[in-house]
Structure 1
Amino acid sequence: MESCTSMLQLKQIQAHMTRNALITHTFPASRVLAFCALSDSGDTNHAHLLFSQLQKPNTSIWNTMIRGCSRAKTAQTGFLFFCQMVQKGVEMDCRSFVFAFKACEQFLGVLEGKSVHCVVWKMGFVCTLLVQNGLHKWCDEAVKLFDSMLMYSDVKPIEVTMIAVLSSCSQKRDLRLGKTFDDWTPEDAYELITKMPKDPSAAAWGALVHACRMHGNVEVAKIAAPRFLELDPKSAVSMFY
């Protein structure tokens, strides 16, 4: 598989694997399917055929199908694969949601994206940074999820949640969190960061600095940048502030 560069070669490899009863094994099957679904030389139709022949595809294989469809002009099919995962009760990981969000972005499926958010919440992935980074085109929903956490006394936003919301919204130049970023004062920014249950890390301050740079908010940067540099002196942030 390492030297495979075309579908012709892949089908020859697959034929050899079939003769030796290897194609039913998860790992070799996942390698073949990944080439079909993700490679520029692949074939998504062949990936679908191979997937349909697998009795118990694991999470990684499901993720590959969602990701492969989101890269092609079949993004809606990628979302349908995600729906099948939910219906069949297949165990999901962070990548499942990230690729599902990507698929929704491709065909501008706002309602579909919101349905993915619902699953994120129900399955307890809302505080996962990787998933929230996948929300960078869904800033409004990211803020709603953040606000909904604050509504419950037993649900407290952890540092990774703060970083995620700052990162996702800064990508869209829309960092609101209850009010527009332009209306923030240095006190507001400091209050947000210091509300974290633990001492903010360099990543937390860095996310705020990045947002400041994108929005041109020098006042907030004067608070965030020094703390960031204190925790991460090798950072290139000094070139901007």
Structure 2
Amino acid sequence: MSTQNKYALITGGSRGIGKAICIQLAKDSEYEILINYKANKEAALQTLKEVEAVGGSGQIIQFDVSNFESVQTALNTWQEQQPDAIIEVLVNNAGITKDGLFMWMKPQEWNDVINTSLNGFFNVTNQLIEKMLLNRYGRIINMVSISGLKGVSGQTNYSAAKGAIIAATKSLSQEVAKRNITVNAVAPGFIITDMTADLDEATLKKMIPANRFGTPEEVAHLVAFLASKKASYITGEVIGITGGIH
């Protein structure tokens, strides 16, 4: 089978870290890039344009990771349209924040964050894992956060979701390792994206030993490595990319 039929799916791939990962995988691998988006089709098409600009190729695919039926329908339809295609790499990147002190947190703010980050991980990975097992190869990379490692005040919902994915990463990696499938998590600290645009960078930099925010590209290099054949003996790991925050 030609590499033309092998895909890397990046959820939430239209902006920020997800977009950087799409572009880096297009540069570093021969995978077709499958860019998932929920609502912003323009941004997804822009990411695809940038993937093509660096010599890659790909497609966009619309589904809401938090909705099991939406995920199932979109991926099944996609597979029927290209029966020879195989998704070998999955980057679970889609996530949202709804920050606030726990005492004031509304059930909706808790549920929305859990549904997108944690249930999104289940919905997409569960849909693709069987094929990876049958093919005896796969790379699953879960984008988590420093919030899930050390906790961040005002992010109890986000920390809960990301901490749960960290634990799931460790368990799932043990179930599938014999079939050459690796499952790892990447935990960024403060990265320059839309999500951190409202933060007080000057003050926060003082907490960071490297004394700066990271870039989406720095995260994307790490993900591209984990998605490669070179990383075949790394599994069940949570790799921080935080500028030294612990």
TM-score with structure 1 length normalisation? Answer: 0.30
Higher relative strand content: 2
Q: Which of structures 1 and 2 has the bigger CA Rg?
A: 1
Higher relative contact order (CA 8 A, sep 6+): 2
Higher relative helix content: 1
TM-score with structure 2 length normalisation? Answer: 0.29
